[in-house]
A and B are shown apart, each in its own frame.
Chain A
Amino acid sequence: MSFAPTGSEIAPASGDVRISAEVARGTWVVIPVYNEARAVGAVIRGLREHFPNIVCVDDGSSDGTWDVLRAEAPHALRHLVNRGQGAALQTGTTYALRQGAERIAHFDADGQHRVEDLARMVSLVASGACDIALGDRFSGDTSGIPAGRRLLLRAAVLFHRVSSGIQLNDVHNGLRVLSRTAAERIELTADRMAHASEIVDLIARSGLRVSQVPVTIRYTEYSKAKGQNWTGGFRIIFHYLVGKVLR
């Protein structure tokens, strides 16, 4: 699992997955961060062993997150007022594209995603096999997913099959990798959590090639408490539908 950020030409991320230092350099990992001072430092340290370009966007946190980011993140950006996860992702993406990113990765700040999953998705997009790789927690090992969460996410999938006509297994997974072209074409305007639904819609309309990559989500007490519940789900649907009607 160890692999040098630069120097060695080919380095293993985990098992059979290898990405070159060049691919790692061209990949900019965008992490929206909101009140994650406890978790985000470890997430950044885990990532920077493999990816030198990490953009953390503090979405107006009030818990010392900004101090952690300033010390740990290769690129730390700050929203002066809280604008929501979708807005923070777009901010990080805008910044990374201006810095010349070849690929954009979305990664969660709470430690629920695994770097080796990201590395596999990055190599897939870098190989040109697809424009967008989406993490899919349901085609891998699903034993760790809490039952309530599973039902909620399944409901979200069903909702999208009806609303966008696109068949994706796991629409609200925050782990994504986009090629530069895809990232330029997909501009998020839904500031809050409805951005995940918005991405699905934009993908369906863009004609970009999508791959779904099996990933494992680490459900800890911490990340579970941070996730969405049913009320949140209905709020997302409301914002999403309003956004659809009012372009």
Chain B
Amino acid sequence: MTVFQIFLLSALSLGAIAVATLAARRAIGRAASAFILLVLGGGIAFAIKPDLTTAIAHRLGINRGTDLLLYILVLAVVYGFIVIYLKLRRVRRELTVLVREIAVREAVRNDRNSARSGGESTTREPASSGRHE
């Protein structure tokens, strides 16, 4: 066993233990933890027997095991970007709603024509938020 294999195995095992602990505490969902453990388990298997990747790759019509891992990595990264982008979009939209609500509530009225202002040109008062209508 090479030094790198030992490093990889310990890192993956620590990750698996961490995920299992979080799952036990119900900090992450059952489906998510099962998926992550599956990925980590695959990693452990590949770290012990690197030729396994090549065997699977050949089954799928891919020449090298590293290529198989590369393709999986590309798919995972693209998927991750899409998920993050969608989340960012939703957060942006929520931010707009929040900023809008604050703007509407804190509106400054400057009614020069209104009788209430009585000579004073600037009156500062929060506008009606529509609940009276």
Please list the residues of chain A having a beta carbon within 8 angstroms of any beta carbon in chain B.
5-6, 52, 57, 69-81, 83, 87, 90-91, 94-95, 98-100, 189, 191, 246
Known: A73-B108, A83-B96, A98-B133. 17 other contacts (CB 8 A): A6-B113, A74-B110, A75-B110, A77-B108, A79-B99, A79-B100, A80-B102, A81-B99, A91-B99, A94-B100, A94-B104, A95-B104, A98-B104, A98-B128, A189-B93, A191-B93, A246-B86
CA–CA, A228 and B112, complex, Å: 35
In the complex, chain B residues whose CB is within 8 Å of the CB of A91: 99-100, 103-104
Q: How far apart are the CA atoms of A72 and B112 in the complex, in Å? A: 10
**Would you call A74 and B112 a contact (CB within 8 A)?**
yes
A72 and B108 CA atoms in complex are apart in Å by 11
The chain B residue with its CB closest to the CB of A70 is B108
8 cross-chain CB contacts under 8 A: A5-B113, A70-B108, A75-B107, A79-B99, A80-B99, A87-B96, A91-B99, A191-B92
A70 to B89, CA, bound (A): 32
The answer to whether B92 touches A95 (Cβ under 8 A) is no
Q: How far is B116's CA from A170's CA once the two chains are assembled, in angstroms? A: 42
Q: Is B109 interfacial (CB 8 A cutoff)?
A: yes
Closest residue on chain B to residue A44 by CB atoms: B110
**Which B residues are within 8 Å of any A CB, using their own CB?**
86, 89, 92-93, 95-96, 99-100, 102-104, 106-113, 122, 127-130, 133
Point out the residues of chain B lying under 8 angstroms from A87, CB to CB: 96, 99-100
Contacts of B107 in A (CB 8 A): 75-77, 95
Question: In the complex, are the beta carbons of B128 and A99 less than 8 A apart?
Answer: yes
Closest to A6 in B: B113
> In the assembly, what is the distance between CA of A225 and CA of B106, in Å?
32
- The answer to whether B95 and A83 touch across the interface, beta carbons within 8 angstroms, is yes
Q: Which residues of B contact A76 (CB under 8 A)?
A: 107-108, 110
* A90 CB → nearest B CB, Å: 7
Q: CA of A230 to CA of B130 in the docked complex: distance in angstroms?
A: 41
Q: Which 7 A-B pairs have the closest CB atoms?
A: A98-B130, A77-B103, A76-B108, A91-B100, A95-B104, A87-B96, A83-B96
**8 Å CB contact of A79 from B86, B93, B103, B108:** B103
A100 CA to B129 CA, complexed, in Å: 11
User: Measured between alpha carbons, how far is A222 from B49 in the docked complex, in Å?
Assistant: 68
The one of A73, A80, A81, A189 in contact with B110, judged by C-beta atoms closer than 8 angstroms, is: A73
A189 to B130, CA, bound (A): 21
Q: Nearest Cβ in chain B — how far from A163, in angstroms?
A: 20
Verify A71–B122 contact, CB threshold 8 A: yes
Q: Closest residue of chain B to A83, judged by CB?
A: B96
Residue of B nearest to A90 (CB): B100
Residues on the B chain within 8 Å of A79, using CB: 99-100, 103
- Of B96, B99, B129, the contact of A98 (CB 8 Å cutoff): B129
Question: CB-CB < 8 A to B111: which residues of A?
Answer: 74
B116 to nearest A CB, angstroms?
A: 13
Contact partners of A6 in chain B: CB under 8 A = 113
A71 to B113, CA, bound (A): 14
Q: How far, in angstroms, from A70 to B107 measured CA to CA in the complex?
A: 10
Contact of A99 among B108, B110, B127 (CB under 8 A): B127
Q: Which residues of B contact A94 (CB under 8 A)?
A: 100, 104
**B99 A77 Cβ-Cβ under 8 A:** no
